[in-house]
DNA sequence: TATAAAAATATACAGGCTGTTTGTATGCAA
DNA sequence: TTGCATACAAACAGCCTGTATATTTTTATA
């Protein structure tokens, strides 16, 4: 019984994905600060040396976890929002898909709590940049074509903060239906106001 | 030239306040994780033993910093919002005061970034409990006396998340007037909708 | 006031963690 | 096949946190 013969690329991809998966589990369970690299490498079944060969440091591994998680959320939202859908309804569908996606175990902690602290708010914005903010601001532009773009971006930012808070509140045990209703009402209210120009 | 003779209570209060002030400076400058207890005790001019005598651990010292900062914000808001002011205008004044207060160097990092990670969202809520959420939900109740209380609380939560995001965005270099205008418009929009019942 | 007890502060220590360095094995290319 | 690059493993150095021990300062009491 001999070892499988693998190409270097396969080896690297295998250990990287093992490490990211293990790190994800432990970061979710104990948080970034209370997860050690010995714990991670053990959980992944590789040596600590392998970890530091594949990733510059613990932060870089965390960044890989966060990026993967943000992509998953973006993809789930994209899948749930048909292109042809227009304005108002489109935003609501997207928000619901976002809340649904953020319901997955640990995502709130990763993306909304630990992420901003470890990577900083600026880098977090750039990571889920396309997904959250841009989509939202485009949705608002569709509703209020005449509005000032900076002002619209600010409103989109505030709205997305409200979505984040709703996701977090639900994650912490808040009533999902209540928060989802509040989010939808908020969107409708803002859309109504914007289209009244 | 001999040391001043002080009572134990004075000694403790002096070192505690030195430690909290030093910790506050370093937590703001480098973040919680990258601030060590040797750094803090040196900056405060006391030994590390004194730190661990006055506070159970590093987290407890951080909690003291956070509590003090949250109290300062609450106090500044209270000072800026006269009691007799009614409904809508009251909320706007409060929000402006909040943004003003959060403009102080490092407060956003402490209260909005590191705080939730180190102490957890739940404890953070309980610390600035009175200030943020309760005031807001009371303001909304005044506007919409008939509305469901849970629903109102959720809306207040989402609004306060928007305020937080605005403060953070301004702190990160965003245009203060734009975000402040967006916040005010958001309040007016929500208030309008609520009072239309 | 003299002295014992208690409180506050200082120092020394024990484990653990991060990132680096050094060494080894495996894949790759000439 | 031979030399090099890549992936991995193990050992090391420095730092940090929290605790245990020792010392100084205050407080209580005789």
Model confidence over B56-66: pLDDT tens digits? 999 999 999 99
Residue range A36-59, pLDDT digits in tens: 999 999 999 999 999 999 999 999
Estimate in Å the CA B54 to C1' C15 gap, whole number. 23
Handedness of CA A118, A120, A121, A124 (dihedral sign): negative
Give the pLDDT of residue A130. Answer: 63
- How many residues make up chain B in this entry? 197
Given the structure tokens 């005449």, which residue do they identify? Answer: A146
CA distance B194 to B190: 6
Mutation to test the A interface, candidates B106, B143, B158, B160, most A Cβ within 10 Å: B158
pLDDT of B79 over the 70 cut:
yes
Residue B8 or residue B104, greater confidence:
B104
Q: Do the chains contact at A158 and B183, CB–CB below 8 Å?
A: yes
Average of per-residue pLDDT across B127-145: 84
Q: Å from A151 to nearest chain B CA?
A: 6
Q: Å from A75 to nearest chain B CA?
A: 24
Single pTM value for the model: 0.94
pLDDT of B19 over the 90 cut:
yes
Q: How many CA atoms lie within 13 Å of B55's alpha carbon, on the beta-carbon side?
A: 23
Cβ-nearest to B189 among A175, A179, A190: A190
Average of per-residue pLDDT across B118-140: 87
Estimate in Å the CA B67 to C1' C5 gap, whole number. 35
pLDDT of A190 over the 90 cut:
yes
The burial class, CB within 10 Å (0-12 / 13-18 / 19+), for A139 is: buried
Residue range A117-164, pLDDT digits in tens: 999 999 999 998 766 778 889 889 999 998 999 999 999 999 999 999
Distance from the Cα of residue A59 to its chain's centroid: 17
Give the pLDDT of residue A138. Answer: 87
Estimate in Å the CA B97 to C1' C20 gap, whole number. 49
Average of per-residue pLDDT across A101-113: 98
Computed over its alpha carbons, how large is the radius of gyration of chain B? Answer: 20
Cβ contacts of residue A43 below 8 Å, gap of 6+? Answer: A22, A23, A25, A26
User: Chain A 18-47, CB below 8 Å of chain B: which residues?
Assistant: 31-33
Contact A117, B117 (CB under 8 A): yes
> Taking CA atoms, what residue in B is nearest to A34?
B118
Whether B149 has its CB under 8 Å from any CB of chain A: the answer is: no
Domains parsed from chain A with CATH numbers: 1-55 (1.10.10.60), 62-196 (1.10.357)
Give the pLDDT of residue A85. Answer: 67
pLDDT of B10 over the 80 cut:
yes
Q: Among B35, B119, B33, which Cα is nearest to B69's?
A: B119
Whether B165 has its CB under 8 Å from any CB of chain A: the answer is: yes
CA distance A150 to A137: 10
Q: What percent of chain B has pLDDT over 70?
A: 95
CA distance B62 to B60: 5
CA distance B104 to B107: 6
Mutation to test the A interface, candidates B30, B58, B164, B165, most A Cβ within 10 Å: B165
pLDDT of A1 over the 50 cut:
no
pLDDT of B133 over the 90 cut:
no
């Amino acid at each position: 019984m001999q070892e499988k013969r693998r190409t270097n690329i396969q080896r690297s991809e295998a250990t990287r994905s093992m490490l990211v998966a293990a790190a994800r589990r432990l970061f979710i369970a104990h948080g970034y600060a209370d997860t050690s690299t010995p714990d991670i490498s053990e959980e992944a079944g590789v040596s600590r040396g392998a970890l530091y060969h594949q990733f510059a440091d613990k932060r870089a591994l965390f960044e890989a976890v966060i990026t993967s998680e943000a992509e998953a959320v973006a993809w789930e939202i994209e899948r749930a929002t048909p292109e042809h859908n227009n304005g108002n309804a489109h935003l609501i569908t997207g928000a619901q898909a976002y809340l649904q996606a953020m319901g997955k175990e640990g995502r709130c902690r990763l993306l909304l709590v630990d992420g901003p602290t470890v990577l900083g708010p600026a880098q977090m914005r750039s990571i889920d940049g396309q997904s959250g903010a841009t989509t939202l601001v485009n949705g608002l532009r569709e509703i209020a074509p005449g509005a000032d773009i900076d002002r619209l971006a600010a409103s989109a930012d505030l709205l997305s903060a409200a979505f984040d808070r709703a996701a977090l509140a639900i994650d912490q045990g808040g009533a999902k239906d209540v928060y989802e209703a509040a989010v939808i009402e908020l969107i409708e209210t803002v859309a109504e106001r914007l289209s009244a120009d």
